[in-house]
Amino acid sequence: MASIEAEFADKNVLITGAGRGVGKRLAIGFAAAGARVGLVARSKPELDLTKLEIEHAGGTALHLRADVCDPDAIRTAAERMRAHWGELDIVICAAAQQGPVGPFAGNPLPAWTETIHTNLIGVANTCAAVLGPMLQRRKGKIIALSGGGGAKVRPNFSAYAASKAGLIRFIECLAEEVHSRNVQVNCMSPGGTYTHMTDEILRAGASAGEKELEEAARIRLTGGVAAKRQIDLAMFLASERSNHVSGKMLHIDDDWRKLETLTLHPEMYTLRRMLKA
């Protein structure tokens, strides 16, 4: 069997949140496999740097500055990429923010609401911008990054956890709606990674909670989950090998490789987290 990376030569991959964090890691990984990568983020300097790193390594990338909270902006970004390279094969929604850290009673409500808007509505805006052509072609892959608190209680991170739980259920609903049109929609939870969110937790101190502080300190020391593991999971969900997998939430520590040949129970790897048949 050919390597999974070979599937992405000449594929068009749009990635939001591509300026930093896991989104940037995935952008570099898919570009290294030969994909043409559309980079979406708000920060021009971060996008410029990601694009430079990809092109320096011999990859191909397109700078698409946009805010996922603005439906017109993300629609324009998708249209620009189509005009430049043709239809989008894969869309990865990685744009996110952590939001206020600490007990909800002390959270600034505007910041709490903004987190919901970015992490949930931003993904909906992105899906709305790309879904129509995928349904017409009867082909496409959408991957949204979930995260800590999406499937379990995460005190002191209520905005982030609520946004990610809502995101997972949205993806499950969308997957059911587009299943008959051969479009697969899934969530992946990339695991703890050293990003700006790690530093936000450390700066929050006791407001984050003892366990969160300990985990953030560990991630800062070790770097967290290796980029290759995250790229491998994303590539599986973006590949033809996962055409039978949709509406699922796969965590980096799940035994997802067995899914290439496994017939899935409808409730496996969903928000309810039934892990065994």
pLDDT of residue 274: 45
Residue 218 inside a domain? The answer is no
Residue 152 inside a domain? The answer is yes
Nearest CA to 246 out of 184, 187, 188, 173 is that of: 184
Q: How many domains does the chain have?
A: 1
Total-model pTM: 0.94
- Tell me the pLDDT of the chain (277 aa) as tens digits: 568 999 999 999 999 999 999 999 999 999 999 999 999 999 999 999 999 999 999 999 999 999 999 999 999 999 999 999 999 999 999 999 999 999 999 999 999 999 999 999 999 999 999 999 999 999 999 999 998 888 889 999 999 999 999 999 999 999 999 999 999 999 999 999 999 999 999 999 999 999 999 999 999 999 999 999 999 999 999 999 999 999 999 999 999 988 877 666 555 666 554 445 4
Separation between Cα atoms, residue 19 and residue 191, nearest integer Å: 18
Is the separation of the CB atoms in 124 and 117 below 8 Å? no
Residue 221 inside a domain? The answer is no
Tell me the two tokens of residue 181.
Answer: 């049109």
Is the separation of the CB atoms in 110 and 91 below 8 Å? no
Nearest CA to 126 out of 150, 98, 145 is that of: 145
Assign residue 121 the CATH number of its domain: 3.40.50.720
Domain that holds residue 92: 9-190+227-250
Strand partners, 91: 14, 142
Residue 24 inside a domain? The answer is yes
Residue 144 inside a domain? The answer is yes
pLDDT of residue 268: 61
Residue 13 inside a domain? The answer is yes
pLDDT of residue 263: 65
